Structure 1
Amino acid sequence: MELYTQIKKWAQLKPDCVAIFSDGHYLTYREIEEYSNALSVFISEKMKGSDSPVIVYGHMEPLMIVCFLASVKSGHAYIPIDASIPEERVKKIIDDSGAKLFLSPSSVPASLKWQDQLFIMDNAEIEDTIALYRGAETSGDKFVKGEQNFYIIYTSGSTGNPKGVQITYNNLASFVEWMVSDFRLKEHQRFLNQAPFSFDLSVMDLYPCLYLGGTLWTISKDLIANPKWLFQSLKESNIHVWTSTPSFVEMCLMDQQFSAEMLPHLETFLFCGEMLPNETARKLKARFPHAVIYNTYGPTETTVAVTSIEINEEILNEYPSLPVGTPKKDVEIFVVDENGNEVNEGEKGEIIITGKSVSKGYLHNEELTKKSFFLYHNQPAYKTGDVGYMKNGLLFCAGRLDFQIKLNGYRMELEEIEAQLRKLSLVESAVVVPIYKESKCQYLMAVVVPKKHDFEKEYQLTAYLKKELQQLLPAYMIPKKFVYVSSLPMTNNGKADRKKIANEVGV
């Protein structure tokens, strides 16, 4: 994959073609090429002698794409951080990554400006810099390539600290080549982008789109919060390729106008991030009879997704719980028992992924890297912690081995949420229980032993705790429901008895 060459080609052949459209703002291929070239020269000069990553902070602004490309063209990986992430968590990412440059096409959080080691540029400063360096470009030998980090995405960590997953140029190249070759994607299509850039599902639409000279149509959090605006945006999008979590499309399916009449050009649905229910796929088949539906699977640590299957009538009728398919050609998947031995077909075990999609590990965290990354059959391998089984040559997912769960496509550690809950001023102890329906996590419930407080009603206490949590956790990690108990039952080894807690609160 020659990503840089492809973008440059479209800038020359289709200079006025819109590369990204977001909330009324857009950039063409000529603009993202020229702007990223100019900004990359500044970054090279500013960060001379440093190989630290560049933080790009915002929420789907077109200029974020320019910052991504400028970073890698100057030889630096980028770290995407969504503007919805609490400032305390942003600070942890800055500290962990050792980043020296913070580019913000959005507004810069006031509390970050005290950080002496960080050079911060807001939207106006980025635009002024691009204007100042207009026409300049860095040499291609500076570009991120091979086994150098292209991007680093921070995910939930069990210690209460986020962990940075390193994805190399080679990892990304392998992924994009697979997307372009196996999913019937075409040049100059319009792609939906629903996931924030700090969530690696966004990579599934962003880079195939740029590689193919397409247009990325973003759906911001403000649109998602307002169904009227959301459906108006979808009507205007004229998209060909839909990428989202199953949860997002289920929300859209609640409205009858969501159909082929609204999106007449839609050809391909791509799902990743969580389990795709059979019933959801059936509804889509009925509403969009001419569209192709793909179910995919893969952790952030193996570059977005590594398996796929087309969900047709035959698959829907044969499997009540849908498979996630077969691996891409440069990846192998094994299902092993607790001793690392491969299990027989139909038997459940841990999913191990090997091959070119596997990350080199967690940034600046050798201990965690050694726990999950290793060599298996002389190939780079990752222990997913996901339970799976093979049937008729197809991989099926069946939950988690540990306290990690998937909710609305976001993978998170229950232990991290619990660690932050216990920091709250009115919490003595707490356990987080995932609430499932038909093998899919619907929401999180916090079971809390509160400290003495003056609130008369439980809902008042809940509102207070949620407000405190908003300073520590992203919104998607905050439990939906709070239940209060006088004590938590314990197991014989002194740990919270999660099974008993779930039973006692009626789960």
Structure 2
Amino acid sequence: MRNVIEWLEATAVATPERVAVADPDSSLTYGELHREAQAAGTWLAARTQPRQAVALFLEKSCGALACMLGAVYAGGFYSVIDIRQPEGRVHAIVDALAPSCVLTDAANAAQAQELLGATGIEIARIEDIVGGSIDEGLLARRRAQALDVDPLYVNFTSGSTGTPKGVVVSHRSVIDFIPTFDQLFGIGESDVIANQAPFDFDVSVKDIYSALRCGARLQLVPREYFTQPTKLMDYLADSQVTTLIWAVSAMCFVSIMNGFDYRVPTTVRRVLFSGEVMPPKQLAVWRRYLPDATYVNLYGPTEITCNCTYYVVEREFGKHEVIPMGKAFPNERVFLLDENNQEVTAPGVEGEVCVSGTALGLGYLGDPERTAAAFTQNPLNGRWLEPIYRTGDLATYDQDGNLVYSSRKDFQIKHMGQRIELGDIEAAAQATDGVERACCTYDQRRKRIRLYYVGTIDEKGLADALASALPPYMEPNHVRRVDQMPLTKNGKIDRKALDGMGR
């Protein structure tokens, strides 16, 4: 197998009438999705060269998925641009992509034209192309020249310099990962996968390609439902969803907003979460209302194609415990390196998480310097080429050989002469009664630890509790309650926005 489109084609032949993708207003069967993708591919192939980018400026939808797959039919790769981003970031992404065209829809066409009309890049509406003709000969010629190491998609993440990093992922990496993922967790054709993540976030890769491969139904959950708990719970229950592959923040929204008190989606059989450390007290809420579901903690950055470790949660975790990252997926090597590039194997000793294997991305689009810094030769292997990705995450092993997340390297600070993991302060806060979520930042210039939290306990009460739980040098200098945590576009806590609130 060389191309992910083979999954769509096989499923469309086997079950053309089965619903492939649905949202609150529309749906496509596998036969319809196949045809629309081919039509979009024909339109795009006439306007693009092989291995050229197609940008999509729209919200996730059935038509958006068809056009993403159309880019693949045309022999290119796709990149979905978040319509809520600042103008400067949109232009930086488009400049990096150098796309053949930008696809949008009727709802976002005016904004796309205003932002990108002066670039000279063709802007087209997906409604105008998915119903067009199909040139099977042209599509066959594009398929014949394709390689499994060709780019499939580019997802842009935030860079430490403020410049977005375009992570390039190949067909081969997705083809390697998705069957293993599906088989490990029993995802099959009878499943309904509730897609929480936007299409520019790599969590959606698991939703999309698991559905295409297995013939499952991809049920798109609109972004705005994650501000309306009753609407969200009705939608999950009425859609009879079975599988949630969600960001931790989305799960915390349900538990903190008491969504289960309103309605429980009893058909849910598996809940897989990633993106941040899951607070045990929030997971306990989910396990109380859905006790028979399988819960899995997933770990992995965008650069290694979704995930590289997993841990099946089979017991209750105390409020002071950290749910392990677990062990590596098959065909991925995950290990720890210390500051001297020596492998860490002893329990409790911290090291940087490094990953090797087919799942590694192709680097950062048009950015060889940052690619060379993060994708390096394995220092443990001097005999042949073995690229690894250095995640920048710190972890330890527990006594059972599971990896346990500690912190980001850049969340490790030196304060009052002591090395401190901000994650340790966050864990202590989240273990306090009356705290739902907590996040810690460090003001390097003023040498101040700032703690923000969501919960019912007052600020003095939390400060007093932490004074009893932490050594003096770890006590936050600033404790502030917020109504909710600001989130990045990928659903993680936005630390910069928090710091802005604290000034």
Name 1:307's counterpart in structure 2: 309
1:443 Cα deviation (Å)? 5.0
Match of 2:194 among 192, 196, 202: 192
Point out the more displaced range, 329-338 or 473-482: 473-482
**2:87 pairs with 1:87:** yes
Q: Which of 389, 402, 407 lines up with 2:396 in the alignment?
A: 389
Do the aligned residues in 1 keep the contact of 2:64 with 2:126 (CA within 8 Å)? no
2:426 pairs with 1:437: yes
2:129 matched residue in structure 1: 126
**1:400 match:** 408
CA shift at 1:226, angstroms?
2.1
Q: Do the aligned residues in 2 keep the contact of 1:448 with 1:482 (CA within 8 Å)? A: no
CA contact 1:356–1:380 (8 Å) conserved in 2: no
Distance in structure 1 (CA, Å) of the matches to 2:444 and 2:408: 23
Residue 61 of structure 1 corresponds to 61
Distance 2:182 2:55 in 1: 28
Establish whether residue 147 from structure 1 lines up as the match of residue 149 from structure 2.
yes
CA distance in 2, matches of 1:473, 1:290: 31
Question: What is the CA distance between 1:188 and its match in structure 2?
Answer: 2.9
Residues 269-328 of structure 1: CA distance to partner in whole angstroms, max 9, x if unpaired?
Answer: 111111122223322222111110011100100011011111002x73799211111101
SS of aligned partner of 2:377: strand
Counterparts of 2:424 and 2:291, CA distance in 1: 33
**Structure 1 unaligned runs (5+)?**
406-432, 450-469, 486-507
Task: For 1:184, give the aligned amino acid.
Answer: G
**CA distance in structure 2 between the aligned counterparts of 1:136 and 1:228, rounded to whole angstroms:** 49
Give the whole-Å Cα distance in 1 for the aligned partners of 2:361 and 2:259: 41
Contact 2:154 2:169 in 1 (8 A): yes
Whole-angstrom distance in 1 between the partners of 2:137 and 2:30: 17
Match of 1:9 in 2: 10
CA distance change for structure 1 residues 194 and 8 in 2, over 3 Å: closer, same or farther? same
Q: Report the equivalent of 1:102.
A: 102
Unaligned runs of at least 5 residues, structure 2: 414-421, 431-436, 446-485
User: What is the CA–CA distance in structure 1 between the aligned matches of 2:134 and 2:407, rounded to whole Å?
Assistant: 50
**1:212 maps to 2:230:** no
CA contact (8 A) 1:338 1:349 kept: yes
User: Does the C-alpha gap of structure 1 residues 135 and 366 become closer, same or farther in structure 2, counting only changes over 3 Å?
Assistant: closer
Aligned partner (choices 354, 371, 374) of residue 372 of structure 1: 374
The correspondence of residues 344-355 of structure 1 with structure 2, limited to 5 A, is 344-345=345-346, 346-355=348-357
Distance 2:330 2:197 in 1: 26
Match of 2:247 in 1: 245
Instruction: Supply the distance in 1 between the matched residues of 2:321 and 2:218 (Cα, whole angstroms).
Output: 33
Residues matched between the structures, number? 433
* Counterpart for residue 466 of structure 1: none
Q: Answer whether contact 2:299 2:308 (CA < 8 A) is retained.
A: yes
Alignment match, 2:285:
283
What is the alpha-carbon distance in structure 1 between the residues aligned to residue 121 and residue 412 of structure 2?
Answer: 32
Report if the CA contact (8 A) 1:276-1:322 is conserved: yes
Alpha-carbon distance in structure 2 between the residues aligned to 1:436 and 1:36: 49
Query: How far apart are 1:484 and its partner, in Å?
Result: 7.2
**Residue 139 (structure 2) aligns with:** 138
What's 1:41 paired with?
42
Is contact 2:42-2:133 (8 Å) kept? Answer: no
Residue in 1 that maps onto 2:453:
none
Give the secondary-structure state (helix, strand or coil) at the position aligned to 1:437: helix
| 1:29/1:483 CA distance change after superposition, 3 Å | closer
Whole-Å separation in 2 of the counterparts to 1:147 and 1:200? 18
Letter in 2 for 1:207: Y
Deviation per CA, 1:406-452, whole angstroms, max 9, x where unpaired? xxxxxxxxxxxxxxxxxxxxxxxxxxx99962178845879799xxx
Contact 2:188 2:215 in 1 (8 A): no
1:131 match: secondary structure: coil
Alignment partners' CA distance in 2, 1:182 and 1:221 = 28
Structure-2 change in CA distance of 1:113 and 1:283 (3 Å): closer
For residues 259-338 of structure 1, the aligned pairs below 5 Å read 262-313=264-315, 316=317, 320-338=321-339
RMSD: 3.1
Q: Is the 8 A contact 2:230 2:262 kept in 1?
A: no
State the secondary structure of the residue aligned to 2:132: helix
TM-score of the two chains, using structure 1 as the length reference: 0.78
The aligned amino acid for 1:234 is L
Q: Which of 1 and 2 has higher RCO (CA within 8 Å, sep 6+)? A: 1
Which residue matches 2:417?
none
1:479 has 2:497 as partner: yes
- Give the drift of 1:190: 0.1
Structure 2 CA distance for aligned equivalents of residues 323 and 18 of structure 1: 36
CA distance in structure 2 between the aligned counterparts of 1:185 and 1:474, rounded to whole angstroms: 24
Report if the CA contact (8 A) 1:331-1:354 is conserved: yes
Tell me the equivalent position of 1:408: none
Q: Distance in 2 between matches of 1:70 and 1:259?
A: 42
User: How far apart, CA to CA, are the structure 2 residues paired with 1:448 and 1:112?
Assistant: 36
SS at match of 2:123: strand
- Kept in 2, the 8 Å contact 1:260–1:287? The answer is no
> Aligned equivalents of 2:501 and 2:79: distance in 1?
36
> 1 CA distance for matches of 2:288 and 2:242?
18
